[in-house]
A = this chain, B = another copy of it.
């Protein structure tokens, strides 16, 4: 193939086919995984990869992987596979990672700090424009090369840095307010870590990351497995907490707040 590892531009290639139809949502969700695996391979010096290999690394079916990639264009070589570097470039471009994405993190508690320190943030075109918090005791301190600014500056920061992505890492109680301010300031992509359903106008894209929900989904499957294993007979052989005394009606104390 001998395709230049540093792709010239990629926009005039006859094999491109992305601009026409939009990518399936399920494909979009998997591309970042492929990208990660590909990057790892590139670091290890792998030049060419087959769909089987890449699929194995990403933990998916190889037919699915090929179909996903085929949505971007026809970048493979039959009998050989895909050029790793070139594929990295094409996937990055499809995802919009060839440009810079300034983001703002609101909430500098443990979670906000973890996010600010997260290395993978900066590696792919994402740049933290600011880290905000409403606690006067935290404002002014430095976290990961960033001086924490006050939440009241949301509008300034968004406007000044042309922030397109807002990350909400506040307690649930203040999340909707922060979200509203972000939206009004012009942010159209929001990543929400607070445990509540955010209300946003059409045109704003919200994705949520919710520990509690993930745990509950895990619990469901664990329960099912456990029930199946026990052959549907007495599942209370476990260390169940209830039995008899229902502690459910009182379970009203639910999702109070994520520590800020």
Contacts and interface: CB of A to CB of B under 8 A. Distances in A.
Contacts of A221: 28, 189, 205
Q: Please tell me how many copies of the chain the complex holds.
A: 2
Interface residues of A, number: 116
A59 interface: yes
Interface stretch (A63-71, A132-140, A145-153, A233-241): A233-241
A201 B243 contact: yes
A168 to B, nearest CB: 12
A164 B31 CA distance: 31
Interface in A21-38: 22-23, 28-29, 31-33, 35-37
Interface of A: 5-7, 19, 22-23, 28-29, 31-33, 35-37, 39-40, 42-43, 57-59, 85, 88-89, 92, 94-101, 103, 109-111, 113-115, 117-121, 123-126, 162, 164-165, 176, 180, 183-184, 186, 188-191, 195-225, 232, 238-260
